[in-house]
Amino acid sequence: MTSETDSFVAALRAQSQRYHDQHPFHIRMNAGRLSRRQIQGWVANRFYYQENLPRKDAAILSNCPDREVRRRWIRRILDHDGTRSGEGGIEAWLRLGEAAGLTREEVRDQRYLVPGVRFAVDAYVTFARTRPWVEAVASSLTELFAPDLMTERLAAFDRFYPWIDRDGLAYFRARLDQAPRDAEHALEVVTEHCRSTEEQARALAALSFKCDVLWSMLDAIDRAYAE
């Protein structure tokens, strides 16, 4: 990579300082300071994000003119939807809900969904539909920071929340492998297509926006389930 590309990648990675693992709600989660009600509220609300990820990725595919990118990007949809009943990330999140003491109906029917989470997730899907596809790809680069978060979360759940069935944590384990693979591809796409100063600035703004989406979700959940 050129020095300009190195600087661009460093700027993208620096967005980790705005990632939602720094949010007070996440900090309390990893310190074992959330109640059963708060964990369940987070699981139920986060499901709205999980079930919309395939729609977000389908929007990127629909706008992307590059066949090679589409061939690799479609794996994300399959990862979440699965290829048959009982598979995929959405199914794994439903099992997390069950492990945390919620029924599938409670998770799926949005009875616990707070308006701020709906607004943030819908804004993210709209962004992927309406912005240039490379910017939408750049917004996904929060996955650069996800493996560390998943590792810390698994350790915290194991230590502080023994009432959650360990079989329900399969989603987090799967993302330890999927997130680095997806982030590597997205980073390749963004560095290849964002060469000018203006293009790189738009990519950084897209990633910043995604950080805001995740942070806003936790703001809304934190307020709704404050104790």
Long-range contacts of 166-172 (CB under 8 A, 24+ apart): 166/99, 167/95, 167/99, 168/95, 168/96, 168/97, 168/98, 168/99, 168/100, 169/96, 169/99, 170/92, 170/95, 170/96, 171/89, 171/92, 171/93, 171/95, 171/96
What pLDDT shows up at residue 4? 82
SS (H, E, C) 118-131: HHHHHHHHHHHHHC
Domain covering 3-224 in this structure, CATH number: 1.20.910.10
Q: What is the pLDDT of residue 3?
A: 77
User: What's the chain's length in residues?
Assistant: 227
- The pLDDT value given to residue 1: 56
Please report, for the chain, the start and end positions of each structural domain, with discontinuous segments joined by +: 3-224
Query: Under a CB-based contact definition with an 8 Å cutoff, are residues 48 and 113 in contact?
Result: yes
Closest CA to 42 of 55, 59, 58, 30: 30
Residue 18: both structure tokens together: 């705005």
Q: Measured between alpha carbons, how far is 133 from 89 in angstroms, rounded to an integer?
A: 23
pTM of this structure: 0.95
- What crossing angle do the helices spanning 197-224 and 36-63 adopt, rounded to 10°? 150
Q: What is the pLDDT of residue 46?
A: 98
Per-residue pLDDT of the chain (227 residues; tens, 9 = 90+): 577 899 999 999 999 999 999 999 999 999 999 999 999 999 999 999 999 999 999 999 999 999 999 999 999 999 999 999 999 999 999 999 999 999 999 999 999 999 999 999 999 999 999 999 999 999 999 999 998 899 999 999 999 999 999 999 999 999 999 999 999 999 999 999 999 999 999 999 999 999 999 999 999 999 999 98
Q: Are the beta carbons of 90 and 80 closer than 8 angstroms?
A: yes
- Tally of CB atoms within 10 A around 166: 11
